[in-house]
Structure 1
């Protein structure tokens, strides 16, 4: 008789243990639908993003031409890049000059247009759409072809200059001006940072300008002392995004130079040189090493920007 209660307790405990799910089963029952909806993203991230990144890291230490199996060569690709590759130096020089010149010009132009649009003119949505349109079309092949026709020897730009008695050069074929045509195209794509600047300007309290006006401050002083300091977070964001985009620029240089970077490699962007090595000479291992160097360079620029931002970016707190 004494064993019956213990048997019942044991039986009841086993039933309770079977009825109460484990923490893993509980978590799975609660989070299962969420993970199921995230499954396409997981497949894309691991199969199309993380997987290729790791494979390219492995290929950067190999000699691979797409036709034969990769052959491990250690750091030979990186040694050759930094010691015996003149085109790597030239492509870095062209890309750095493009980024250093085009990004500040684009941001300055975008900020100027945003200041004009922020004055409350009529038809503001129409103007915003018109000015944003180049950012949507600027990186396309069609715009690059049109740009090449505009700056050709007998293009529309030179025909316009002839009206003033000026005989313009062949902007695309002249190494003194060819890179500047690409910089002009990059500055023309000012719509995206302009929209972000305009949103930032709308967040600045108007009472600050009113108080400064009562104190006798002019427009230029209010711009330097109020607008710019309060807009520095937006400037910082735009600078980071546009710098990364500048390093990644490819389509205009490829179309305008015919995929060669000519004349005399004056438009040989880093991405264009990487493309030549990968799909022109089928040196996939070497191109993978170039891609990882580009990743490190962009990471260094971004890290430097974040480290120095505390000296000039002013947040609300």
Structure 2
């Protein structure tokens, strides 16, 4: 009987210790994620400027969104940004991973060098690239003047500003996703490549028939992460262009920031954030369903 009580006491003690480790995460999630999300959901049906008392207005914020030209421009810019960043990052990160998976001199240095931008301050990156993209004094346009008379205006041009942010985003992110692809490549058994080579498959056929199928799960994960991060883009836009020129780089999260902390229209900002959440959730669910269909095929 004493042994049973002792075992029960030890079990309860271990359970208590386990809960003590995970409790801070639960408290943090509850205070800094769950409560703000619920508050934002409620606030999307309100009119509130943070100074006066919240006023319930039903679906007026969502009705306003339908007729708000700036919202549709920011949604279009976000989609165009995503369309530009996702495939370019996938191609660049996979290409780098394949290149740096070879036995070459200085491999560790190059891996670190390509990963370094990801852990560098976004503000610092944006400031440096703004200097590089300067329309008259920037080294990029100084080089392009060798081949063309009028190089792009980049961040000062409404036609090129979004492309400039896409370029910086791909440059910054490809090192991180390269590491994920490297992990996937190193998990592919060499015997498969040897068997394919014995069957007469050249390097291209090995890439198409062995490498790509083996990296399907990695590519799926990378794509989901890229899409989510693209719809959350804010820092580079804020520092590099401020949503301009005009509204050329005004993306959804930047509009949420502008509505909430510039115009103090927290109700409308919450409504836009709710729509953004629904869009990202829908895209993620679609990607999961599509991946399941491909795996069954």
Contact 1:277 1:284 in 2 (8 A): yes
The aligned residue for residue 168 of structure 2 is: 185
Per-residue deviation, residues 69-127 of structure 1 (Å, max 9, x unmatched):
21111111111112x11111000000001101211111101000111011121232211
Task: Please tell me whether residue 68 in structure 1 is matched to residue 52 in structure 2.
Answer: yes
DSSP 3-state at the match of 2:237? helix
The aligned residue for residue 237 of structure 2 is: 253
Query: Which residues of structure 2 form unaligned runs of 5+?
Result: none
Give the 5 Å matches for 1:56-95: 56-82=40-66, 84-95=67-78
Task: Please tell me whether residue 106 in structure 1 is matched to residue 89 in structure 2.
Answer: yes
In the TM superposition, residue 28 of structure 1 has moved relative to its aligned partner by 5.4
In the TM superposition, residue 177 of structure 1 has moved relative to its aligned partner by 1.1
Inter-partner Cα distance in structure 2 for 1:125 and 1:153: 36
- Structure with higher Rg: it is 1
The aligned residue for residue 51 of structure 1 is: 35
The normalised TM-score by structure 2 is 0.92
- Structure 1 window deviating more from structure 2 (223-232 vs 150-159): it is 150-159
Inter-partner Cα distance in structure 2 for 1:161 and 1:37: 56
Inter-partner Cα distance in structure 2 for 1:106 and 1:314: 27
Inter-partner Cα distance in structure 2 for 1:120 and 1:206: 14
Q: Which of 258, 266, 276 pairs up with 1:276? A: 258
Inter-partner Cα distance in structure 2 for 1:314 and 1:219: 27
Task: Please tell me whether residue 142 in structure 1 is matched to residue 117 in structure 2.
Answer: no
Task: Please tell me whether residue 167 in structure 1 is matched to residue 158 in structure 2.
Answer: no
Per-residue deviation, residues 216-242 of structure 1 (Å, max 9, x unmatched):
111111111111011110000100011
Give the 5 Å matches for 1:31-42: 31-42=15-26
Runs of 4+ in 1 over 4 A off after TM superposition: 25-30
Per-residue deviation, residues 43-84 of structure 1 (Å, max 9, x unmatched):
2121111111111111111001011121111111111112x1
The aligned residue for residue 13 of structure 1 is: none
DSSP 3-state at the match of 2:215? helix
Give the 5 Å matches for 1:16-31: 29-31=13-15
| Number of residue pairs the alignment of both structures matches | 292
The aligned residue for residue 213 of structure 1 is: 197
Contact 1:233 1:313 in 2 (8 A): no
Inter-partner Cα distance in structure 1 for 2:295 and 2:133: 39
Task: Please tell me whether residue 119 in structure 1 is matched to residue 112 in structure 2.
Answer: no
* Structure 1 residues 235 and 31, CA gap change in structure 2 (3 angstroms): same
Query: Which residues of structure 1 form unaligned runs of 5+?
Result: 1-15
Inter-partner Cα distance in structure 2 for 1:171 and 1:205: 45
What is the root-mean-square deviation of aligned Cα atoms in Å?
2.2
Inter-partner Cα distance in structure 1 for 2:232 and 2:20: 34
